[in-house]
Amino acid sequence: MDPIARRNAEAADADNIARPVNDAFHPERFFTDGDRTNPEKVRALMQKGKFLLAEREGKLVACVYVELRGERGYFGLLAVDPRLQRAGTGSSLIRAAEEYCRLAGCAFMDLTIVNLGKELPGFYARRGYVVNGTLPFPEDQHPPKLPCHLLRMSKPLA
């Protein structure tokens, strides 16, 4: 199998980023309708932060959004091709996002997940993240079909 190469996304990648993110977030359809993002939202996020991409043979296989927020870094929209899940690709991108924020002077890394997911809290806990608060479900997303909120998880980057 060819190795996975990482690079920073460029504006021209917005269309290609939206598809795997929506595929990865498809399991959320039990509580919300519609796609998680679109190329316009991806481009808007690129104005505030950046996407780190993982590619194999020139094809996008995973991505993560990362943003600097003062002493805190944030990552979200982690998406990995289902054929590569549980192979370390997502963990590798998380480490890359953490390193980017650490080098930029961030002391902490934050993420948010919907409280209805069963696997994600444990996935992130195994990587050192702990729940440290809640936030309302974002108004800019499709309205949820079930009551839900976001869990904020964080870890120190020291």
Q: What is the pLDDT of residues 98-156, one digit of tens each?
A: 999 999 999 999 999 989 878 889 999 999 999 999 999 888 887 888 888 999 999 99
pLDDT tens figures, 62-99: 999 999 999 999 999 999 988 878 888 999 999 999 99
Cβ contact 30:17 at 8 Å: no
pLDDT over 70 at 1, yes or no: no
pLDDT over 60 at 42, yes or no: yes
> Distance from CA of residue 1 to its chain's centroid?
25
**Confidence label for 27 from pLDDT (cuts 50, 70 and 90):** low
> Distance from CA of residue 42 to its chain's centroid?
12
Q: Which fold has domain 5-156?
A: Aminopeptidase (3.40.630)
Cβ contact 61:80 at 8 Å: yes
Its pTM stands at: 0.89
Strand, helix or coil for residue 14: helix
